[in-house]
Structure 1
């Protein structure tokens, strides 16, 4: 995945130190199917995800990532999950703490295709065909599936 310019500029100042970032995941539904993409960097199947740019609304970031990565226009319907991911240390030593916001989205237009090189395959799949999707992404999809459920929050004092 391409590293945003603002992250590269921050890395010039802080080196490999932990960097807090906000990420979004867009769980997009079209009829009874969900939009999934196969990542170019590690081959994992998952919903569309990306980093919120400075000053950008998270819901706008989710919609932008759907257009940039998969070539589809979506409406962002609701928050499904907010949680802190465990710290990630990349091969180059960079450390990142992602606060992830998962959104339920609805397809509006466009046929999915690998639009920017971050995905090698992308399309709408039956929920029963999700055997190659890792357990955490299946959970995100399940939380987004229920249209009227309130958002879910992980652990910490708010979760008690």
Structure 2
């Protein structure tokens, strides 16, 4: 997976110590809302929405647009914040540790020929909303939030911090 230059620079100073990073997830629907665009990750083979790390000074919604272009070669419109959540601590094969504040956005596909554009994914494909591939629970929760016709963003609480599960913001 491609590691942003600013993370590589941080790693020079902190080694494998945990980093707190902002992430963006783009749940991309076709204009009719019947299909969703997913990518198959090169590092683990799982299907996910488009995801990525927010660059310093970048708005998370702009990161979602950028990641959709870089990873799947598509242009999208961000429609709304769908959920905000915190990932579990991730330990990578090289020992680096990170935890992510994820901003999930409901997005609409505008144009482009979807394909793996940057080597981070091995496949990009449209799936019917009612016929999704197997996905990890945290990614499925992001996808469900992005596909829901809700006016308010979901607050995805981790098991450690949740008393009542998922809440709503706004």
Q: Considering only aligned residues, what root-mean-square deviation do their CA atoms show, in Å? A: 1.8
Partner residue in 2 for 1:153: 155
The number of aligned residues is: 160
Contact 2:71 2:117 in 1 (8 A): yes
CA drift of 1:129 comes to: 2.2
Superposed CA deviations along residues 69-126 of structure 1, whole A, max 9, x for unmatched, are 0000000011111011111111111110111110000001112001111111102110
Task: Indicate if the aligned counterparts of 1:130 and 1:138 stay in contact, CA closer than 8 A.
Answer: no
Which aligned runs of 4 or more in structure 1 are off by greater than 4 angstroms? 156-160
Distance, in Å, in 2 between the alignment partners of 1:60 and 1:46 is 19
Structure 1 residue runs without a partner (length 5+):
none
**Partner in structure 1 of residue 2 of structure 2:** 2
Query: Quick one: which of 16, 32, 35 aligns to 1:33?
Result: 35
Q: Which residue of 1 aligns with 2:23?
A: 23
Out of 68, 88, 94, the residue aligned to residue 66 of structure 1 is: 68
Aligned partners of 1:41, 1:20: CA distance in 2, in Å? Answer: 21
SS across alignment from 1:128: coil
TM-score (norm 1): 0.94
Contact 2:47 2:133 in 1 (8 A): no
Normalised TM-score (structure 2) = 0.88
Q: Is residue 118 from structure 1 mapped to residue 108 from structure 2 by the alignment?
A: no
Q: Say which of 51, 70, 73 aligns to 1:49.
A: 51
